[in-house]
Amino acid sequence: MTAGINLPGFIDSRFQKIYIVIAREGIMKKVEAPDGKLEFKFCVEVNEGYNRTTRSVYENASGEYYLVESEEYHIGSAYDYVDVYYALEKGEAEYFEKIALDAEQRKKEEALERERIAREDQERMLTTGGDRYFYKKKRSDTVWWLKESGDDHKFSFDKETVYDLMRDYPDKLTPEQKEIFDKENPFWAKRLQKKAEQRMT
């Protein structure tokens, strides 16, 4: 067991299913509060709501493990809590810890992936196309924008054929290109549509 692992906010459906089965089958034994000091080992689950329920694993000086359900609930403007203790076999405690650690590792990997995507988005995927520089506003976009000085708004779908937003949209685009452009650039699509309607009136 690894001491001091704290996973606040961890809710894992696998643990919930295991916990329900154990509780219903009476495998997990409800016991009185043990004597002596309990050492916190790791948090298994936190359910936030009007009342807050936390399930954590503790160990006593004799090496016995307990799953402690702690429910905090409102009393007027104050809080009170009730602790319920379940005796755990060492194997059960270690299995719960493995689930918790796996979930924490997944959270770290997901956070790193979000950071990587955000960094690429921030760099705007600047890339070369011939002797020109193109970028995307989002990494998932199809439309490439031409990086040039001045007020020109030029874009491309293949970094070869370049369109001028003010002169070429939408007449020189195929219906498929216009659909893609409008989906990825709703601001420009609405603005240019409004401008076209004003010219017609």
| Residue 54 lies inside a defined structural domain of this protein | yes
Choosing from 121, 154, 181, the residue where a domain stops is: 121
What's residue 21's pLDDT? 44
Q: How far is CA 56 from CA 41, 70, 79, in A?
A: 8, 8, 19
- pLDDT tens-digit series, residues 67-81: 888 888 766 667 787
Choosing from 95, 121, 147, the residue where a domain stops is: 121
| Residue 1 lies inside a defined structural domain of this protein | no
Query: With contact defined as beta carbons under 8 Å apart, do 10 and 46 qualify?
Result: yes
| pTM exceeds 0.75 | no
Tokens 């420009």, located at residue: 188
Beta strands in 5-97 (DSSP E): 29-31, 38-47, 52-60, 65-75, 78-88
| CB contact burial 53-75 (16+ within 10 A = b; e otherwise) | bbbbbbbeeeebbbbbbeeeeee
Q: In the chain, what is the straight-line distance between the N-terminal and C-terminal CA atoms, in Å?
A: 76
Same domain, 66 and 134: no
pLDDT at 149 over 70: no
Residue 171: Cβ-neighbour burial (10 angstroms; 0-12, 13-18, 19+): exposed
Same domain, 81 and 108: yes
Find out whether the peptide bond into 170 is cis, omega within 30 degrees of 0: yes
Please give the residue range of the domain that contains residue 144. 124-200
What's residue 23's pLDDT? 47
Number of domains observed in the structure of the chain = 2
SS3 82: strand
Query: With contact defined as beta carbons under 8 Å apart, do 117 and 136 qualify?
Result: no
Residue 43 pLDDT class (50, 70, 90 cuts) = confident
Same domain, 28 and 106: yes
Same domain, 111 and 187: no
What's residue 2's pLDDT? 38
Number of CB atoms found within 10 A of residue 163's CB: 21
Same domain, 187 and 95: no
| Residue 4 lies inside a defined structural domain of this protein | no
